[in-house]
Structure 1
Amino acid sequence: MDATIAKETLVSLREVTRSVTLPDDQQLHILRGVDLEVLSGDHTAIVGRSGCGKSTLLNLLGLLDVPTSGELEFMGQPAQRLSSNARARLRGSTVGFVFQQFNLLPGRSALDNVITPLFYAKGREFWRRREIAMDMLDRVGLSARANTMPNMLSGGEQQRVAIARALVRRPRLILADEPTGALDVETGQAVMALLDTVATETAAALVTITHDTNVAALARACYRLDSGVLSPMALAEAGAHA
């Protein structure tokens, strides 16, 4: 019997562009004809310099924005046909974000930070929110620090809290925007290993947006974004620059 698990397409981009109008009415073309398919269980890295369009692409993948042209389908649904409220609901239940800046609530404990997304849950998930959040903190190795405020945590610990918060609702898609940018190399490697492990355990797709080829080399598929154009990048190429 074939034990291979069939992968599902979570996000599909075909000939996607994104442009904005500048104050002088000129068009700034940020993304140009991007094609990308993200499957469940994938770990994909997108590498590019600052200003190349990485954050814009992440916003599209996470339904924070819609393309200027082209087709973006999220779990089979055309994003342009969804209302902003429908996109927000789908994003809240399906996407987890991990950022370079940890964005933890400063006056809340580690546990309270992880609980926050569960206030939007329903039924049993809502009523068990404290138990679920504690379990996720335990999975990232921080159950003993549950009542600690963010300013008393190291950078690596704060990032692990942020990861726990992003994963507490078991998202299908994890978007990590420069997740190791504020960390030293060793801590950054530990954080990426943790993200990859948890994503694998839950069969979630992990997309890492980065300028760091060390981080990109950990992925199973790699793309380069340059002046808004996305192209495949050999993993060996990423490793050679790591």
Structure 2
Amino acid sequence: MSLIELDGVSRTVILPDGDRLEILRDVTFTIETGEHVSIVGRSGSGKSTLLNLMGLLDTPTEGEYRLDGRPTAGLSQRRRARLRGAGFGFVFQQFNLLPGRSALENVAAPLLYAGGREFWTRRRLAHDMLTRVGLGDRADTMPEKLSGGEQQRVAIARSLIRRPRVILCDEPTGALDVQTGTEIMDLLDAIAAETGSTLVTITHDTMVAARAHRHYRLDAGVLGPLDPALLGAPRQVVSA
């Protein structure tokens, strides 16, 4: 049984003039526990919509999305939110850190909605996660005092604080330089391997996509295999 199964999934929206816009068209694929899957596509190809569907932030217009073999169509909004909060971590191109809150407070924020031990030990758990991403000494620093790479590390720590089964990354290196982006992907790969998490990377960068176990291309809402000839070798950072 696959962890994530999309079967004939389409997503259509009605525009203000009444026209129908097909964002996704008959998408069918599966993802297994512990896999790293990349989906490559240009801006407007439907990549973010597909990620939102997998992360229970949106619902298909047609087709079925099964999580752990169970259909998600009949889930209440409350149940979807609980599954999303407990099972999914999101990493976006824009770091979306809370202004006026320290790195530690940003990482601990998801645990404000947790219960029991997670809630009462949230600051220690957040500090431990910041240490895991190499920022234990920056816990009290405000986001505006952090570099782009450091802000993305804080965002990653926040996404992982509840030990999600699935890490969904939407252009995680898009706002970073090449070396910092490579370091961020190294970190994501290492944490996913360590925890056994499933990693899904949505990107336009074939170098980033090349790091995955399986590669797809999304073009005008249609998902298919990515030609291996289009993949570049993963970038390597050489220390001076």
Q: TM-score, normalised by structure 1?
A: 0.94
Select between 227-236 and 40-49 the one with higher mean Cα deviation: 227-236
1:106 corresponds in structure 2 to: 99
2:41 corresponds in structure 1 to: 48
2:238 corresponds in structure 1 to: none
Q: What are the Cα deviations for residues 79-137 of structure 1, in whole angstroms up to 9, with x where unaligned?
A: 11111111111101100000000000110000000000111111112211111111100
Where does structure 1 lack aligned partners over 5 or more consecutive residues? 1-7
Identify the match of residue 23 of structure 1 among 13, 16, 21: 16
> What is the identity, as a one-letter code, of the residue corresponding to 1:93?
A
Q: Report if aligned partners of 1:10, 1:173 keep a CA contact under 8 Å in 2.
A: no
1:161 corresponds in structure 2 to: 154
Q: Distance in 2 between matches of 1:235 and 1:132?
A: 40
Identify the match of residue 220 of structure 2 among 220, 223, 227: 227
Structure 1 segments of 4+ aligned residues over 6 angstroms from their partners: none
Identify the match of residue 201 of structure 2 among 204, 208, 216: 208
Q: Distance in 2 between matches of 1:228 and 1:9?
A: 23
1:3 corresponds in structure 2 to: none
1:217 corresponds in structure 2 to: 210
2:65 corresponds in structure 1 to: 72
What value does the CA root-mean-square deviation take over the aligned residues?
A: 1.4
Q: Distance in 2 between matches of 1:236 and 1:27?
A: 35
Q: TM-score, normalised by structure 2?
A: 0.94
Q: What are the Cα deviations for residues 53-99 of structure 1, in whole angstroms up to 9, with x where unaligned?
A: 00110110000011011110122221111111111111011000000
Percentage of pairs with the same residue: 64
Where does structure 2 lack aligned partners over 5 or more consecutive residues? 236-240
> What is the identity, as a one-letter code, of the residue corresponding to 1:228?
G
Q: Distance in 1 between matches of 2:126 and 2:228?
A: 35
2:184 corresponds in structure 1 to: 191
Q: Residues 119-158 of structure 1: matches in 2 within 5 Å?
A: 119-158=112-151
Structure 1 residues 21, 241: CA separation in 2 closer, same or farther (over 3 Å shift)?
A: farther
Other structure's SS at 1:9 match: coil
Structure 1 residues 126, 240: CA separation in 2 closer, same or farther (over 3 Å shift)?
A: closer
Other structure's SS at 1:80 match: coil
Q: What are the Cα deviations for residues 112-171 of structure 1, in whole angstroms up to 9, with x where unaligned?
A: 000001111111122111111111000000000000000110000000000000001000
Q: Report if aligned partners of 1:220, 1:235 keep a CA contact under 8 Å in 2.
A: no
